Amino acid sequence: MTSRRTPSSRDRDQAPTQAPRVEFEDTTPYDAYVRASTLATLQRTATDEPGEYMFLVVSQVMELYFNLIAFEWRTAQRFLREDKLGEALLALRRSNDHFTALNASWVSFRWMTPPDFNAFREALGEASGFQSFLYRHVEFLLGFKDAALLRPHKHVAGSHYDELVAAFEAPSLYDDALAYLARRGYDVPTAALDRDHAITYEHIDAVEDVWVQVYADTSHGDPLRAFAESLTDIAEQFSDWRYRHLMAVRRAMGAKVGSGGSAGLAWLERSLLRQAFPELWSARTRI
Ligand code: HEM
């Protein structure tokens, strides 16, 4: 169990007039920790267009959130495997709050008209968010698996490709949720428990039955329903991200072909239809 720091005398015995320290022999402790000076070197735009600067900054912000959300889901998976539902729920709740902040970032794109986007679009070359390995990691944790989507990342620097392959082959968050329900005595079918994790999760009728049972248990404050609702929130937030992305694309470039080589809008509309955690949605018709 990790211990939490309790208030020390430094926290308690402050004079209300005491001002923050302003002299440092080296860089500030803040910069040593946050690395803002390094962060500020990472926005290397190819043009002077304000749209490009915003595009790059918001893309980087989103990448950081993808990583943070994946971290929370891996934490939740670890706790589920240890049968610690309460701790897993806290991690899922945090991830949902992060998702709300992530999705709010799309507001920065609302002003962008096609001429604003055209002003720097050529400078992006073939770069496309489709090539984001952190986004792909998030999709793998949600159970969307397609081996072809590993290929673009083979030569990415560092250990990212190996981590992505590991996430591709490992159980998704939903796989761990179903395994947990099975250990709690629910009749989760072997088709869900023993499946090949490197394949996209598809709807299974008997899993729908399990969620119907979870929601049928109306005992006051049942944590399993809270669990089901947290997972539902995640699936909805992810669809929100996709929808807001789609609308930003529609506003900025209409139905033009994407820089990553796809049909653009039509391709994104198709992926919007794919729903994470399918039985949590289909079960609702029967509840
Ligand atoms: C006006 C802004 C944007 C436009 C016009 C745009 C355009 C597109 C297009 C056309 C695609 C389809 C693949 C392709 O052919 O390129 C795509 C995919 C994608 N974009 Fe964007 N994008 C924008 C902003 C962003 C931002 C800020 C992010 C954040 C990282 C992002 C992340 C993604 C991801 C992850 C995909 C792959 C989605 C999937 O695989 O289902 N995009 N984008």
pTM: 0.95
Give me ligand 1 centre to Cα 131, in Å: 9
Ligand 1 pocket list (CB less than 6 A):
58-59, 62-63, 109, 112, 117, 128-130, 132, 135, 245, 248-249, 252-253, 258-262, 264, 267-268, 271
Neighbour count for residue 121 (Cβ, 10 Å): 19
Give me ligand 1 centre to Cα 284, in Å: 31
The residue contributing the CA closest to ligand 1 atom 37 is: 130
Which residues of the chain register pLDDT less than 70? 1-3, 220
What pLDDT is stored for residue 30 in this prediction?
98
What HEC string does 90-159 produce? HHHHHHHHHHHHHHHHHHHHCCCCHHHHHHHHHHHCCCCHHHCHHHHHHHHHHCCCCHHHHHHHCCCCCC
Give me ligand 1 centre to Cα 91, in Å: 27
What pLDDT is stored for residue 3 in this prediction?
60
What pLDDT is stored for residue 120 in this prediction?
98
Give me ligand 1 centre to Cα 56, in Å: 12
Q: Where are the domains of the chain?
A: 48-286
CATH topology of domain 48-286: Methane Monooxygenase Hydroxylase; Chain G, domain 1 (1.20.58)
What pLDDT is stored for residue 121 in this prediction?
97
